[in-house]
Amino acid sequence: MNKWFIASAIVFLLAGCQNADPQKTEDTVKKTVHQEKKTKTGPQLKAVFFNQIKEVNGKKIIANPENTLSLVNKHYFLPGEYTPTDLVRPNVRFSFGDQDIEKSYLRKQAAKALEEMFSNAKQQGVHLFAVSGYRSYDRQVAILNNEIARVGETKASQAVAPPGQSEHQTGLSMDISAESVKFNLTEDFENTTEGKWLAENAHQYGFILRYPKGKESLTGYKYEPWHFRYVGKQAAKEIYENKWTLEEYFNNVEKI
């Protein structure tokens, strides 16, 4: 009896396999794959926000430097001649007062976000001061040479980006300080009310702490609690919540 039952079951299964509609099977597989794609919850980013790279004399040059999510680091260069076309002077307090100088500028979108952040901080009793924003390629050359003369090439490379590899040239980064540290750019800033407020709230305005502590091997630079980079609110939120660097963000985000 048992043998007859097992044999019948095998025949029934084989018949089912033989009678299966190949097209329906293929449609089912496609539907399953589509559902899996729809349920994917990781961060997604349009292709236009990724670096477009061209090789020039062995260097990886960013061909779309106007991209607000440009990944600028020790691997990717901005064109030496690149200057953002929408630089404006944000209406915030600067450590150097009202001087209308190069480093007081940011790209328009970042400047507007900075104004909002500084204003809301002030309403909460936190007084921030902008120190250094946009920096031209030529200015970066001078800064690096001065730092090398002061501390040597090895130490200088840990703190100052080579010309073309500075985020400041994007016009999307601002160094921020406070009166509590005498407007200096120092690691002590992380322990101030202002530094803590920025670390916890900057992402709400589209800024990220670009060079966080413990991620030096990824960013290539020492910890800088004063350096904030504008990437937009969505990317900043995802980077903040995952405790990523910008490098890690691009390693995890899905291009769509």
pLDDT tens per residue, range 70-112:
999 999 999 999 999 999 999 999 999 999 999 999 999 999 9
Between the alpha carbon of residue 147 and those of residues 52, 63, 174, 252, the distances in Å are 31, 29, 19, 34
Given pLDDT bands bounded at 50, 70 and 90, which one contains residue 14? Answer: very low
Helix crossing, 193-201 with 108-123: angle to 10°? 120
Q: Are 252 and 42 in contact (CB under 8 A)?
A: yes
* Residue ranges of domains in the chain, CATH in brackets: 44-255 (3.30.1380.10)
The residues assigned a catalytic role are 224
Question: Of 139, 132, 140, nearest to 163 (Cα)?
Answer: 140
What pLDDT is recorded for position 15?
A: 46
Task: Write out the two tokens for 125.
Answer: 């009793």
| Mean pLDDT score across all residues of the chain | 89
Above 50 in pLDDT, residue 5?
no
What pLDDT is recorded for position 241?
A: 98
Above 90 in pLDDT, residue 248?
yes
3-state secondary structure at position 225? strand
Specify the amino acid at residue 115. Answer: E
3-state secondary structure at position 35? helix
What pLDDT is recorded for position 130?
A: 98
Helix intervals (H) in 152-215: 153-159, 193-201
Above 80 in pLDDT, residue 12?
no
Above 90 in pLDDT, residue 179?
yes
